[in-house]
Amino acid sequence: MAELGKYAVYVLSSYGVSLALLAVLVGASVLRARRVKAQLDAVEKRGGRHG
Q: How do residues 12-46 score in pLDDT, each as one tens digit?
A: 999 999 999 999 999 999 999 999 999 999 999 98
Residue ranges per structural domain of the chain: 25-51
pTM for this model (two decimals): 0.71
Residue whose C-alpha is closest to residue 31's, from 43, 50, 19, 39: 39
Q: Which residues contact 4 (CB under 8 A, 6 or more apart)?
A: 11, 12
- The pLDDT of residue 4 is 84
CA distance 16 to 8: 12
